[in-house]
Chain A
Amino acid sequence: MIEINGLYKTYNYKKSGAFEALHDISVTIEDGTMNAIIGRSGSGKSTLLHILGCIDSFEKGSYKFNGKEIAEYSEKERALFRSENVGIVLQDFSLIETYSVLENVLTPFYFTNKTYSKKEMKSKALAVLKSVRLDKLENKSVNKLSGGQKQRVAIARAIVNNPSVILADEPTGALDSKTAAEIMELFRELNEKGHTVIIVTHDLEIAKQCDRIIEISDGRIKKE
């Protein structure tokens, strides 16, 4: 369970040009739910997702993940958190273009504390690729894939370590509507398998496919 209480985030904190991106955010996200965070550009929705994924930090407030305070985590613990507890999917896919599909999916294994043999790693990666319907493409270079296929690789990479939470920042932003629908279907399937899904989007149609919509405006939660 994710519990956020009185969270503040200011860019250029205590410097000139400081900008408050999040103001007194308090929200609880139950396990196994599918959530959408919506808002206009610059509203702070991506910042909130980055904080949830331990990509970014915050100055004030509390962020508890399964009861543990994330603010107290060291850099090493935060890195491990990104590797094992959350899977992150971004709009530009964030794949390593020179790697094959399989190599990209294997990447999170190199940063986890869990020990796997090469064979185990490969079989897990192949199983995940099958679940996102990318089997038989494992040896293909990612720069030869379509946008939809790339996003599937990104999703496969996000779930390969079996994290409880999947965070997606505009996952359908770079895709056509048909492919976007397929990706959303994939998120729905992952949610049904027990993953908590949090999707940041500005597209209300995408948000409507989630169980819960959190609207952010000017760094504040406007509506739930």
Chain B
Amino acid sequence: MKYFRFAFMSIYDNIKVNILMIVEILVILLGVNIIVGGYNNRNMLYKPYYDLLNNYTGWYVAFDTDENTGELLTNEMKGDLEEIRMYEFSGNIEFAGQQADIKINICPDEIMDNLKMSVYSGKWETSLSDKTVCIAAPNTFGLKAGDKIISPLFLNEITVSAVLTDPCYLPSFSSWSTMSGIENFYKKYSTLYYSKEIENSQHLEIIMSSSEFSETGADISNAQSCFIIYGNHLTEENIEYNEKILRDNYNSGISFSDIKKRAEMSINNILKKYIPIAVCAFIVILIGIISCTAINTLRQTKNYGTLFICGMRWSDCIKICAAYTTIIMLCSVSLTIAAVSVCKIFNISAYFGLAFQWNNVIVSIIILTVILLLNLIIPAFIIRNKTPVEIIKENN
């Protein structure tokens, strides 16, 4: 602890340079966490589809794909085909003594199991053995985590396990009507989701897994988009033949490989675009930090000489430097945590599409370790090149 005492002396002695250093580290941490947060958010959206898009070949149809039409088509198509379909239920429900129209987006279990969104309240639970659960979109109706949704059409009540942050992405695939045309429809990776803001919520919207919805015993209102998975051993000719049928009947179709390409492009773009900027900024700021550390160490050598005559070992100067850097970094980390918390509390992270996860912590630790090591190497170099006798003689 005594080294922290002397480290505070260093900070107080050169307060302006040290504030600059705290700000520099804060800028690095915030910048990198924003990039990683953006990457996480896009990755989070891709993850539910990862297995499907990477392990299978197939065709995605983002249109009202009712099962009868689907059956006719699949009869015409070649090879074994499997369908993963999104459904929708619309109706009137009751919760907490009030009535409202609701749209339930019924998600295939395969996708729902890998889905994880930022929640505003409650806990992300998409399947529970003792009750039927759902995730609610942000709403102005007052539907909150823990509320029970009832309807004469349901055999049992549905419990809201969590409410998503505002704005949110719903795996609805039904953004057809919101897009201007087929050209734009798949341009954005986000079209696998329906972006919803609380301001535009005209009705309640929830998401449920197929298996959870089936527990209610209610009939679905209509079928939405569909992933058509081709079986193994399908030749290139047969794939082309199938896709021609799909294109002729659903002009809003796309192959899995194209969705995957676009999704990965969207994820990697953030890294390609911002990492060079971040690296340049990191180098510039690192030079700033090194300069500040060098100035600080040079200013402190007289005090280290004083501590030496009081009984400190010369090699212990580096412990003071380590304590000093730790304090500076703690200040920057505290400010970063405060900034991230403010972002989360005021939903700023949701608006900017940022998801803070464990990799944010890991990347931050790596950056802090680099800064700590540099902040020890520079003073060690300065201190090693000076002896206490030289410092005492310089000052006498």
Q: Mark B298-321, 1 if CB is under 8 A from A, else 0.
A: 000011011111111111000000
- Whether the pair A107, B389 counts as a contact (CB closer than 8 A) is no
Contact of B13 among A50, A88, A98 (CB under 8 A): A98
Q: Sample 18 A-B pairs with CB under 8 A, ordered by A number.
A: A55-B389, A75-B313, A79-B311, A79-B313, A80-B311, A82-B308, A82-B310, A84-B311, A92-B396, A94-B302, A94-B305, A94-B309, A96-B9, A98-B9, A99-B9, A108-B310, A108-B311, A111-B310
1/0 per residue, CB under 8 A from A, across B358-396: the answer is: 000000000000000000000000000000110011011
A223 at interface, CB cutoff 8 A: no
Chain A residue contacts of B388, Cβ below 8 A: 55
In the bound complex, what is the Cα–Cα distance between A84 and B310 (angstroms)? 9
CA distance A94 to B263 in the complex (A): 65
- Besides A50-B392, A92-B395, A94-B302, 5 other CB < 8 A contacts? A46-B396, A55-B308, A56-B389, A84-B311, A95-B306
Interface set of B (CB-CB < 8 Å, partner A)? 2, 5, 9, 12-13, 302-303, 305-315, 388-389, 392-393, 395-396
* Chain B facing A: main interface SS: helix
Which residues of chain A (93-133) have a CB below 8 Å from chain B? 94-99, 107-108, 110-112
A91 touches B (CB below 8 Å) = yes
Instruction: Tell me which of B5, B9, B312, B389 contacts A50 (CB under 8 A).
Output: B389
Q: Report yes or no: A98 in contact with B12, Cβ–Cβ below 8 A.
A: yes
* Chain A residues within 8 Å of B5, by CB: 110
Per the bound structure, the CA–CA distance linking A91 and B311 in Å amounts to 18
Instruction: Kindly report which residue of chain B lies nearest to residue A90, judged by CB atoms.
Output: B396
Q: CA–CA, A97 to B305, complex, Å? A: 13
Cα distance A83–B307 in the bound complex, in angstroms: 10
Are the C-beta atoms of A107 and B310 separated by less than 8 Å?
yes
Q: Give the chain A neighbours of B392 by CB distance below 8 A.
A: 50, 55, 90, 94
| B13, B313, B396: the one within 8 Å of A169 (CB) | B396
Residue of B nearest to A85 (CB): B311
Nearest residue (CB) in B for A81 is B311
Q: Does A45 contact B (CB under 8 A)?
A: no
A76 at the interface (CB under 8 A from B): yes
Contacting residues, chain A, for B312 (C-beta < 8 A) = 79, 111
- Find the A residue at minimum CB distance from B12: A98
Residues of A within 8 A of B306 (CB): 94-96, 107
**Complex Cα–Cα for A107 and B311 (A):** 9
Q: Which residues of A contact B395 (CB under 8 A)?
A: 90, 92, 94
Q: Which residue of B2, B309, B389, B396 contacts A82 across the interface (Cβ within 8 Å)?
A: B309
* CA gap between A79 and B314 in the complex, in Å: 9
Contact B309 A88, beta carbon cutoff 8 Å = yes
> In the assembly, what is the distance between CA of A59 and CA of B127, in Å?
79
Interface string of A191-218 (1 = CB under 8 A from B): 0000000000000000000000000000
A157 at interface, CB cutoff 8 A: yes
